[in-house]
Amino acid sequence: MVDAYDRASGLPSPVIAVDEPGADVRRYPPEVVARIAEQDRESYAAAARFVNDYPVDLVNIQHEYGLFGGERGEWLVDFLEAVEKPVVLTMHTVLPEPEESYLRVTRRLCDKATRVVALSETGRGLLESIYGIDPERLDCIHHGVPDVPFQDTYAAKASFGIGQRTVISTFGLISRGKGLEYAIEAMRGVVRRHPETLYLILGETHPVVRRQEGESYRESLHTMVRQYGLNYNVQLVDKYLDFDEVVTYLAATDIYLTPYLNPAQIVSGTLAYAVGCGKAIVSTPYLYAQELLAHNRGFLCDFRDAASIAERLNMLLDDPSLRRATERRAYRFGRQMTWPHVAAQYGRLFSELAPGHPLQLVSSA
């Protein structure tokens, strides 16, 4: 988002980074002008004092649970109480049924912010109805996605050496909550009707998961592939994908699949990217998927139900015209989510809060 905003405004945006304990020492680029030590409470107030003296007009905090220190990230309140400039708080996760501690901390954060941004209309509604945030202080600005042309899959498939096989894909950091075992089981029903189909599971294991349980989940997925005789039809690509690789793999994808297990998931960057790239999508009906795939922009399947996943995949594989129509609807909707469009929306919000100034943004993430 910072890169897109900088291009739109023509101004560089300084960044404050958050360093978790035990992480490797990072060599940040020059735009990182300060750091917050996640588990050092004084670091939050010190960062606010730094911002107060720094030549910026406004602060944008990219908030995610687990990123900031204290119970449910409440030490971020120290920053908000000490900072003397307008703050836009972008909430990446909004829990629909929060525990008391989440509710209390989130309310405090939102109350201290000048404006609060949700990444979906569902999230904005929850902030108003569940958390009691004044709707006049709430905005919805979509998760940003690449601004790519609507294109066929031929060139991208050729670059990966997979011929012109039909490709289903899922990408992102691997963890048990992704429901990939149900997707692999569903491929048994898919390949009976479409034996050349290839399912790509793209991404490395989430680093927190790897620290806790090693590669046991990934190994269990490999075991399923072998047991079901799907070695030709399912490939797990164990690597971290950079931006260009994500876009190229999506360009090669015919159907994007998110079989996630958490009904309350309010945002998915991978789903947003797939919509923005104009993919036909099959997904379980978590909250974000219900919103993004409404109006026939994609198709929902049941949670933890391989047969339901297979039925939706086969429906799209059986009917190329339906798949193409779904792609076009997704792509049209995704134009409002492209990084230039998102940057312009943030720019208008920032200018409203800091009128009359050539605006610079400091982002904390």
pLDDT attached to residue 21: 83
Average pLDDT, the chain: 94
Is the pLDDT score of 358 beyond 60?
A: no
Is 216 part of any domain?
yes
The predicted model gives 49-53 an average pLDDT of 98
244 lies in the same domain as 131 = no
Is 281 part of any domain?
yes
pLDDT attached to residue 232: 98
Is the pLDDT score of 126 beyond 90?
A: yes
Q: How does residue 360 score in pLDDT terms, banded at 50, 70 and 90?
A: low
139 lies in the same domain as 162 = no
Q: How does residue 268 score in pLDDT terms, banded at 50, 70 and 90?
A: very high
Q: Is the CA virtual torsion 226, 229, 232, 233 positive or negative?
A: negative
> What is the bridge-based pairing of β-strands 87-91 and 58-63?
parallel
136 lies in the same domain as 173 = no
The predicted model gives 109-129 an average pLDDT of 98
> What is the bridge-based pairing of β-strands 87-91 and 115-118?
parallel
319 lies in the same domain as 182 = yes
78 lies in the same domain as 93 = yes
Global pTM reads 0.91
Is 354 part of any domain?
yes
The predicted model gives 57-64 an average pLDDT of 96
The predicted model gives 139-145 an average pLDDT of 97
312 lies in the same domain as 175 = yes
Whether 173 and 204 have beta carbons less than 8 Å apart is answered as: yes
DSSP characters over 292-348: HTTTTTSEE--TT-HHHHHHHHHHHHH-HHHHHHHHHHHHHHHGGGBHHHHHHHHHH
Is the pLDDT score of 134 beyond 90?
A: yes
Q: How does residue 363 score in pLDDT terms, banded at 50, 70 and 90?
A: low
Domain extent, residue 360, equals 2-143+338-364
179 lies in the same domain as 35 = no
Is the pLDDT score of 361 beyond 70?
A: no
Q: Residue 118 maps to which CATH number?
A: 3.40.50.2000
pLDDT digits (tens, 9 = 90+) for 13-29: 899 999 988 766 678 88
Is the pLDDT score of 171 beyond 60?
A: yes
Is 274 part of any domain?
yes
- Straight-line distance from the first to the last Cα atom of the chain, in angstroms, rounded to the nearest whole number: 11
Is the pLDDT score of 365 beyond 60?
A: no
Is 148 part of any domain?
no
Spatial separation of the C-alpha atoms in residues 28 and 30, rounded to whole Å: 7
Domains of the chain: total: 2
pLDDT digits (tens, 9 = 90+) for 342-351: 999 999 999 9
Share of the chain above pLDDT 70, in %: 95
Is 149 part of any domain?
no
192 lies in the same domain as 329 = yes
> What is the bridge-based pairing of β-strands 58-63 and 138-140?
unpaired
Contact residues for 159 (Cβ-Cβ < 8 A; gap 6+): 248, 252
318 lies in the same domain as 169 = yes
182 lies in the same domain as 318 = yes
Is the pLDDT score of 217 beyond 70?
A: yes
76 lies in the same domain as 205 = no
Is the pLDDT score of 325 beyond 70?
A: yes
The predicted model gives 179-190 an average pLDDT of 99
332 lies in the same domain as 342 = no
